[in-house]
Structure 1
Amino acid sequence: MLSVDPHPLLDVVAFEVTFPSPLSASPSPEWLVALLKPDASAPLSADDGVRGAVRDLLRHGGYKPTGRGKPASEYLVRAAGDGSLGSINAAVDVCNAVSLHSGLPISVVDLDRARPPLRIGIAPEGSSYVFNASGQSIDLGGLLCLFDAEGPCANAVKDAQRTKTQGDTRRTLTVLWGTKALPGRTEQAFSWYRELLERLGATVERRS
């Protein structure tokens, strides 16, 4: 279902999630929303070392992870700090909670909106996609991405609008963009992620 191109730094974990009901019918419980706060109790915490290692991972293909192109995990730290990180849906909230506290960027795509085959690799120069409902796009050249049959659809900075979760989403693919420079962190993040999802009644099947 998912192939991964060789990469000297990438320590990826990808897994399929099936939720017991559409996301619109399962709002996030209070305990999950509470995890979106920076001071919430969590088994992982991020620091400048984690941030630097993640940026180095994204630099490998020639991408510059700075400014508006910085890793999504760094946006979450800022949003959580100023109180603007709120609940979206259960799938995204678990993603944001684990990413916030682990420091690892994470992608979540709706498997029924993506078209197989799926692959992880570096996007070629000149590639881009729309990442929000207002039509803004991101230049993907040199950036590690998840690809489906139509092209890149997710990465550690901004996921594509066309495969984002919606109210009717039941099945997702999650990608933890970990790095070998942080031994064990990706597995720790996955273990906690699985625990939170199973607490929501979801089933988890690892793909890489």
Structure 2
Amino acid sequence: MLTVDPHPLLDLIAFTSSFPAPLGDLPAPDWLQALLKPGATAPLQSDDAVRGAVRDLLRHGGYKPTGRGKPASEYLVRASGDGTLGTINAAVDACNAVSLHSGLPISVVDLDKAQAPFRVSTAIQGDRYVFNASGQTIDLEGLLCLFDAQGPCANAVKDAQRTKTDATTRRTLTLLWGTKELKGHTERAFTWYRELLERLGATVEPVR
């Protein structure tokens, strides 16, 4: 169950994926890793218009998507360009490939670590979470986030450490943080994303 607060710009697509084995037993194949490298060919392409529209989406609630708080998709462009975008696991690599080439930020949550009900809403003052293993936190005020029963757990900048995938993950919830300023772009990204996941043997179910 996912509820989404009204938003004038958000074009969200959410879906679940079930993998045929734990992600620790599903290394990313060569064809998927190749999509993370500079010069890779893909059916989608980001540009300045996409980057600007995504930043407008994040700004709407008062958040400032700059510096260390910029959209995750922008980090991927830099990491791919300097050769530091390495493989993590099949699920995250597929996410990174689609995000890199579409320019859309994407969140991937381990469904067995998160707790329903789920909702998408703008975070308020005081909302924050740890986003990496070293315990660093992000201030979420004004930022669109996915919330579960315990609080915020994902967004277009940095996902929460407590619900990230690991070697034991079998089921994920994925959110494409699309914007209505880019008509049809989120749907095209999802179509390609689904093709990649099904090629990996995953079962994909859209969340309404």
Q: Please, what TM-score do these two structures have when normalized by structure 2? A: 0.99
What amino acid does structure 2 have at the position aligned with 1:12?
L
Q: Deviations 1:53-97 (Å, cap 9, x if unpaired)? A: 000000000000000000000000000000000000001000000
What is residue 52 of structure 2 aligned with on the other side? 52
Q: Distance in 2 between matches of 1:26 and 1:16?
A: 17
Q: Distance in 2 between matches of 1:135 and 1:174?
A: 23
Shift, 1:125, TM fit = 1.2
What is residue 100 of structure 2 aligned with on the other side? 100
Q: Distance in 2 between matches of 1:56 and 1:125?
A: 20
Q: Deviations 1:88-113 (Å, cap 9, x if unpaired)? A: 00010000000000000000000000
Contact 1:38/1:101, CA 8 A, preserved across alignment? no
Q: Distance in 1 between matches of 2:99 and 2:106?
A: 6
DSSP 3-state at the match of 2:74? helix
Q: Distance in 2 between matches of 1:17 and 1:111?
A: 9
After superposition, residues 55-94 of structure 1 pair within 5 angstroms as 55-94=55-94
Shift, 1:126, TM fit = 1.5
What is residue 125 of structure 2 aligned with on the other side? 125
After superposition, residues 2-17 of structure 1 pair within 5 angstroms as 2-17=2-17
- Give runs of ≥4 in structure 1 deviating > 2 Å: none
What amino acid does structure 2 have at the position aligned with 1:55?
R
Shift, 1:181, TM fit = 0.2
Contact 1:76/1:100, CA 8 A, preserved across alignment? yes
Question: What is the total number of aligned residue pairs between the two structures?
Answer: 208
What amino acid does structure 1 have at the position aligned with 2:23?
L
Shift, 1:38, TM fit = 3.1
Shift, 1:153, TM fit = 0.1
What is residue 175 of structure 2 aligned with on the other side? 175
What is residue 26 of structure 1 aligned with on the other side? 26
DSSP 3-state at the match of 1:205? strand
Q: Distance in 1 between matches of 2:39 and 2:199?
A: 21
Contact 2:38/2:83, CA 8 A, preserved across alignment? no
Residue segments in structure 1 that go unaligned for 5+ positions in a row: none
Q: Distance in 2 between matches of 1:125 and 1:51?
A: 26
What amino acid does structure 2 have at the position aligned with 1:194?
R
Q: Please, what TM-score do these two structures have when normalized by structure 1? A: 0.99
Q: Distance in 2 between matches of 1:39 and 1:110?
A: 30
Residue segments in structure 2 that go unaligned for 5+ positions in a row: none
Identity among equivalent pairs (%): 77
What amino acid does structure 1 have at the position aligned with 2:183?
P
